[in-house]
Structure 1
Amino acid sequence: MSSTSRGDTTRGGGRTSGGRSVEERIRAVFADAGCTGWLHARRCDNSAAEISISGHERVVVASVYKLPLFVAFCRLVDAGRIDPTTRLTVTPSECTPGPTGIAVLRDPVTMSLRDLAASMMTVSDNAAADILLGETGLGAVEDLLDHLGLTQTRIVGGTVDLHRSLVRDTDTHTTAEAFAALAENDDAWTVSAYDPSYASATTPQEMTRFLRALWGGTVLSAEQTEFVRTVMRHQVWPHRIAAAFPHRSVSVAGKTGTIGVIRNEVAVVEFPGESPVAVAVFTRAARADPELPVVDAAIAESARIAVTELRRPLPQE
């Protein structure tokens, strides 16, 4: 194992021909983008190989919380405690606001719980997520995390709870006003949503451990495992980890998370004939602009460097 600084490790890799370690290259990517970055990557096999940039530090998950909620829902389906075909009629004006999904519709819609889960994951539908959390229960998410031994991962509530905290912390009246306040670069906001001590949080290392267990088929039944993989492969956002692998034969199954200066994504990258690689990238930008393509590009590039280092052919039978 080589180590460049505290919290930065590589097992199974090393230095490039240019003399810089993988960690040094990734840290340079984050620095050039004007953000702090945390990363962990590992293959979804029994290998101890890993890439870590402060991967054991706790970070804010933002909408990445929808992934453990999704899996907790599927676990209840496996247990026969939820019928995924149960249909609910939802009125958009009464839902959690958001830029995608049900919240942007005008008329009531009827959807199955399974389709609500798919909308939550593929377009990061806030309204669908809060409805699904109400049906699944926070206790089911906690049970899942306990079952997997993810002791540093904590989900404290849904999107509506997050929005309430933002309105309170910014001393505004609406969610829209709160987000407008956070986008002002002249104001250095310290809000609980940015603090892993108060907000839903995890570590990059626990997220890749979660993904490895999920891809290994040890968390859900074969049917629900395939459902989760398929839905995650249909996430629509191409601007972060997926941008690093613009090849038709490469599959990226991910979940993004964004709030203010926080931009994240966790994903499993699959090359044909190779072991899948789980990678988790969490960032906090120096600027508060609602769109920061340079940080999105840094998430892609750091993931590309880490995944490339860990790629290995599947064992021959």
Structure 2
Amino acid sequence: MSIRDIFAAAGVHGRLHVCDIDSDRAVGLDADAPVVLSSIVKVLLVLEFARQVAAGVLDPAERVVVGVEDRFGGWGTAGCSDDIELSLRDLAYFAMSVSDNTAADVLLHRLGGPDVLGLLAAELGLHRTRIVGGPRQLLESMFADIGARDDAEFARIFPSLPPERVATLRVFDPGRTTASTPEDMTKLLGLIWRDEAGPPPACAAVRGLMARQMAWTRLRSGFPAEVRVAGKTGTLPGLAMEIGVAEYPDGGRYAIAVFAGGAGRIPRIDVDLALGRAAATAVDMLRDQR
């Protein structure tokens, strides 16, 4: 089954770029098309954090308090009932392992705000990548676009909106939200895995955090157990995505960026599995070319 057929069987439209990290071989499907990044932007966030630590600008053990005013929904610290104190490096861990939006937002504020991520993307040559805000700004844009005052009102209004109204929200428009292309994302991964995105200890830290992601139904599901997969997912209603690297026992390393749209508002396991199958099919095509 072709990559396009895999997406079609799941009832979604897909965009994909997979490349051999150590050569110029690649497979793509609309790989230069703009895509919404959602939580995938957290890879840039933890990279900037790791670079500042390596430069001696930040102490990873610095303690911060995450209070009720910081929490705005999601997993990890966002679900806590009381104020909690933890280190900056633990904020990075929660942001990557369970895609904790609150942890990511607090860490981004400590790094200097969204502009630092835009500057990082430009420095790395990710010319199709644009950052318009952190997790809180993106959520607030959704609230504003549908006229909700808080998460409770959003939860009440959003399910009743017709699809054509949902499509007008800024978070679904790559031209008005944090966005990139599959090619830019595999370029980012290649830089990290070759220790070219910053000092080697910083790149190693990002690789380690991506390997600790708990989501397994997307990229991880497409590969056999002996293949090491490190990644970062992103999710919005109707959108499922992940970027990551598959490392084979024989030394082969493959950067993957796969995005699917049109999945409906409720997360679907068949769409997740399709992302994994499409990624594995592309990697197999590259391995067959060796």
Same fold (TM over 0.5): yes
Partner residue in 1 for 2:173 = 195
- Match status 1:168 vs 2:144: yes
TM-aligned CA distance change 1:251 to 1:179, over 3 Å: farther
1:226 partnered with 2:201? no
Q: Does the CA contact (< 8 Å) of 1:274 and 1:311 recur in 2?
A: no
Match of 1:118 among 70, 74, 93: 93
Letter of the structure 2 residue corresponding to residue 31 of structure 1: A
Q: Report the counterpart of residue 26 of structure 1 in structure 2.
A: 3
User: 200, 207, 215: which one pairs with 2:185?
Assistant: 207
Question: Out of 65, 78, 88, which is 2:64 matched to?
Answer: 88
Matched length: 287
Residue 220 of structure 2: aligned partner: 242
Show the counterpart of 2:237: 260
Cα separation, 1, equivalents of 2:120 and 2:52: 10
**When you count helix as a share of all residues, which structure comes out higher?**
2
Q: Which residue of 1 aligns with 2:273?
A: 297
1:272 aligns with 2:249: yes
Partners of 2:128 and 2:71 lie apart in 1 by 27
Cα shift readout 1:57-83 (whole Å, capped 9, x = no counterpart):
111000001111111111111222211
Give structure 1 regions of 4+ aligned residues with deviation exceeding 6 angstroms.
none
Q: Give 5+ residue unaligned stretches, structure 1.
A: 1-19
Distance in 2, matches of 1:29 and 1:85, equals 45
Query: In structure 2, how many angstroms separate the alpha carbons of the residues matched to 1:60 and 1:286?
Result: 14
In the alignment, which of 135, 156, 173 is matched to residue 110 of structure 2?
Answer: 135
Larger radius of gyration: 1
CA shift for structure 1 position 181: 4.2
Corresponding residue of 1:38: 15
Q: CA separation in 2, counterparts of 1:176 and 1:277?
A: 41
Alignment map for 1:143-182 (pairs within 5 Å): 143-179=119-155, 181-182=157-158
Contact 1:166/1:191, CA 8 A, preserved across alignment: yes
Percentage identity across paired residues of the two chains: 36
Contact 1:35 1:284 in 2 (8 A): yes
Range that drifts further, 210-219 or 94-103: 94-103
Relative to structure 1, is the Cα distance of residues 143 and 184 closer, same or farther in structure 2, using a 3 angstrom cutoff?
same
Which of 68, 73, 85 aligns to 2:49? It is 73
TM-score, length basis structure 2: 0.93
How far off its partner does 1:90 sit? Answer: 1.5
